[in-house]
Amino acid sequence: MEKDIIIPFNKPFLTGKETHYIHEAIKLGKISGNGYFTKKCQHFFEERYSFKKALLTTSCTDALEMAAILANIKAGDEVIIPSYTFVSTALAFVRQGAKIIFTDSNKDHPNMDVNLIETLITPATKVIVPVHYAGIACDMDAIMELAKKYNLLVIEDAAQAIDSYYMNKQGKKLPLGSIGHMAAFSFHETKNIIAGEGGMLAINDKQFIDRAEVIWEKGTNRTKFFRGEVDKYGWIDIGSSFLPSEVTAAFLWAQLENLDLIQNKRIKIWNTYFYGLKDLSDQNIIGLSYMPQYATNNGHIFYIILKNIQVREALIAFLKSKQILPVFHYLSLHSSPFYKDKHDGRVLTQTDRYSDCLLRLPFYYDLQENEVNQIVFYIHEFFNINK
C-alpha cells in the first residue's frame, strides 16, 4: 500500500472543455451576464428538471437572498429551517429581518424532522425552508401539505441536491428543486456540478417570475427591455447584481454537458464506500446514510456517524496520520455565536448529535476506487485498534 499519497477532502473536477467555452464567450464579445451561455444553462435546467424558470446567480446564497426578497420577508416574519445546515440557509432570511425558527433533524438522517414543523407554525410564519442534506430528499409531500394548510411558501435549499429526486405519494419521480415554490442551487467548487462560485434560483410558481427577473438585474426591467417587451428600461423595484458573468456560465456549461458522467461516477464512488463500510454499520460501530423510500441518491456527500465527538476526533487524527483528510460540519446554527441569544431556547438533540458525530469522507470525481478501498481499510483498522 502506498504510504505517501495524500487524499484531500475535495478536488474540483474539470471536464476539459471549460477554457474552450470561456474562450468562446470572450469571442462572442459579451462577457457580462445573461448572454449566450447563461441562456443555454438556464434552458438546460428548465428542460431537464421542468422548472418554470431558472436564473443563474453568483451563488446559492444569492439565490436564497432573491427568494427571501420574493417571499416579501419583513421584520418579525418567521421562517422555519433546520438548524443542521449551512449558514446561508438562515442568513438570507435574517438579512430581511426574519426571525428564524430552527427545527431539529431526524433521528435516522440529518434532514428536518417534518413531524415537528406543525408545532412551530404561528400566525407570523411565512416560509418553510427544507434543506435536502447530502442531496437526499426531505419528505416534500408532508411539507407541501403543511404549506397549503397554513398558506406558507416553501423554498427548497437544494444547494446539494442537483439531479436528485423525490418520489411523491402518486409514485411520480419529481426532481428536487421542482416541488417548492422556489429553490436555490449551488455550483460552488465543493458541489457535484461546479462553476467556482455560482448558483441558481429555480422558480416553480409563475407569479414570481417577472419580479425575479427585476430583482436579478438591480431592480430594473432590463431583461424585458432586451426581449423587446418594453422600449426603455428603468428602476422599478429593489434588487441587486445577482447575475453571474458569461465567463462563469461558460464554465458551468462544460460541466452540464457532462452531468450524467459526473453523477454516475460519483454514485459509483458512494457505493464503494457504502458496501465497504456496511459491516461496521451492521455491527453498530458506525452509522451510515439512511435512504428514505421516497428519496434517491445523487452521490453528493459520503458521511459516517460516530458514537461521540471523542471517537470522531480520534478517527480524524488517525486518518490524518495516514494522509487522508476527512472533514466535519455544521456547527448547530441555533447555538452559533450570532444566533444563540435570538434562539428560543429549545434543545435540538439530533442537530447537536450530527454536529458532534457526523464525519464526511473524501469525495470527488477523481477519487480512485483503490483510494476509497484504502480509506475503508484504515477505518476498519482504527476500530480494530480501538475495540
Ligand X SMILES: *Cc1c(COP(=O)(O)O)cnc(C)c1O
Instruction: List interacting residues with ligand X (CB under 6 A).
Output: 59-61, 85-86, 88-89, 131, 157, 159-160, 186, 188, 199
Contact between 125 and 136 under an 8 Å Cβ cutoff? The reply is no
1: exposed, middle or buried (Cβ count in 10 Å: 0-12, 13-18, 19+): exposed
Backbone φ and ψ for 53, nearest 5 degrees, come out as -155, 135
Cα Rg of the chain (Å, integer): 21
Instruction: Decide whether 88 or 220 has the Cβ nearer to ligand X.
Output: 88
C-alpha cell at 156: 427548497
C-alpha cell at 355: 454536529
Contact between 184 and 63 under an 8 Å Cβ cutoff? The reply is yes
Instruction: Decide whether 59 or 272 has the Cβ nearer to ligand X.
Output: 59
Shortest Å, Cβ 136 to ligand X: 12
Instruction: Decide whether 33 or 199 has the Cβ nearer to ligand X.
Output: 199
Shortest Å, Cβ 197 to ligand X: 6
Residues 6 or more apart in contact with residue 287 via CB below 8 angstroms: 281, 304, 305, 306, 357
Shortest Å, Cβ 58 to ligand X: 8
37: exposed, middle or buried (Cβ count in 10 Å: 0-12, 13-18, 19+): buried
Instruction: Decide whether 71 or 131 has the Cβ nearer to ligand X.
Output: 131
Shortest Å, Cβ 64 to ligand X: 7
Instruction: Decide whether 145 or 189 has the Cβ nearer to ligand X.
Output: 189
Shortest Å, Cβ 128 to ligand X: 15
End-to-end CA distance of the chain: 24
Decide the pairing of beta strands 173-175 and 125-128: unpaired
Shortest Å, Cβ 183 to ligand X: 11
Its sign, for the CA torsion 138, 76, 210, 238, is negative
The Cα–Cα gap between 61 and 42 comes to 18
Instruction: Decide whether 155 or 269 has the Cβ nearer to ligand X.
Output: 155
Report which DSSP code applies to 131. B
The Cα–Cα gap between 324 and 280 comes to 19
Shortest Å, Cβ 70 to ligand X: 17
Instruction: Decide whether 250 or 301 has the Cβ nearer to ligand X.
Output: 301
